C-alpha cells in the first residue's frame, strides 16, 4: 500500500512539474531578456561604481565604491533567482486563481510577474546610465508618469485614482521631511 501512495504522489508532482516547465518554456525569451538585463545592470552598475571610485576624495568614499567581485556576482545571481520566482509566482497565481476566474491565462500572469522584475531592472539600468553619462533625470518620476498614462489609456477613472494615490504618497513624504 505504501508503494501505491508514493507512485500517486510522484505522478502528481510530475504533472505539476510539467505545467511549470511548460510555463517556463512559453516564456523562454522573456527569461533570456531578464538575463540580458541582469548583465546590462551589472555593466552599468560597475561603470557607475568605477566612476564614483575615481572621483572619490577620501579613503572612506573609495572603500564605499570599490568593486567587490563576490558581492556583484552574489547580487546578480540573487536577481536571477528573483526573476524565476516572479515567473513561478505569476504562473501559479494564474493557474490557481486567474485562469479559473477567466481573467487571463497563466502564461500572461507569469509574464506580468516576470515583467515587473524586468521593469525594475530597466529603471536601475537607466539610473546607472544617466549617472555615468552625468545626465540628471528622475527615472522613478518618469516611470510613475508612464504607468499612470498607460493605465489612463485603458481606464480613465482607474488612472486618475492611481495618479491621486501616488501624488498623495509624495505629499505625505514631503510633509514629513
Question: How many Cα atoms are found within 13 Å in the side-chain-facing hemisphere of 4?
Answer: 1
Distance CA 37, CA 43 (A): 10
pLDDT, tens only, 82-131? 888 888 888 888 888 988 999 888 888 888 888 888 888 888 898 899 88
| Domain regions of the chain by residue span | 2-137, 138-177
pLDDT, tens only, 79-88? 999 888 888 8
Write down the H helix ranges in 27-97.
28-55, 59-65, 69-93
pTM beyond 0.85: no
Distance CA 27, CA 115 (A): 11
Dihedral (CA of 90, 93, 96, 98) sign: negative
Q: Are 90 and 110 in contact (CB under 8 A)?
A: yes
Question: How many Cα atoms are found within 13 Å in the side-chain-facing hemisphere of 80?
Answer: 14
Q: Are 52 and 65 in contact (CB under 8 A)?
A: yes
Amino acid at each position: 500500500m505504501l508503494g501505491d501512495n508514493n507512485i500517486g504522489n510522484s505522478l502528481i508532482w510530475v504533472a505539476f512539474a510539467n505545467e511549470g516547465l511548460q510555463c517556463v518554456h512559453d516564456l523562454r525569451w522573456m527569461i533570456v531578456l531578464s538575463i540580458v538585463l541582469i548583465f546590462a545592470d551589472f555593466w552599468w552598475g560597475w561603470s557607475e561604481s568605477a566612476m564614483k571610485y575615481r572621483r572619490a576624495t577620501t579613503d572612506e568614499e573609495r572603500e564605499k565604491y570599490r568593486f567587490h567581485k563576490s558581492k556583484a556576482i552574489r547580487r546578480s545571481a540573487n536577481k536571477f533567482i528573483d526573476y524565476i520566482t516572479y515567473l513561478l509566482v505569476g504562473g501559479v497565481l494564474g493557474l490557481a486563481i486567474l485562469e479559473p476566474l477567466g481573467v487571463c491565462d497563466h502564461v500572461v500572469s507569469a509574464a506580468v510577474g516576470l515583467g515587473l522584475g524586468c521593469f525594475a531592472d530597466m529603471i536601475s539600468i537607466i539610473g546607472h546610465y544617466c549617472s555615468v553619462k552625468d545626465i540628471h533625470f528622475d527615472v522613478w518620476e518618469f516611470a510613475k508618469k508612464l504607468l499612470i498614462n498607460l493605465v489612463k489609456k485603458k481606464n480613465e477613472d482607474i488612472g486618475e485614482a492611481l495618479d491621486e494615490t501616488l501624488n498623495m504618497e509624495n505629499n505625505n513624504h514631503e510633509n514629513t521631511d
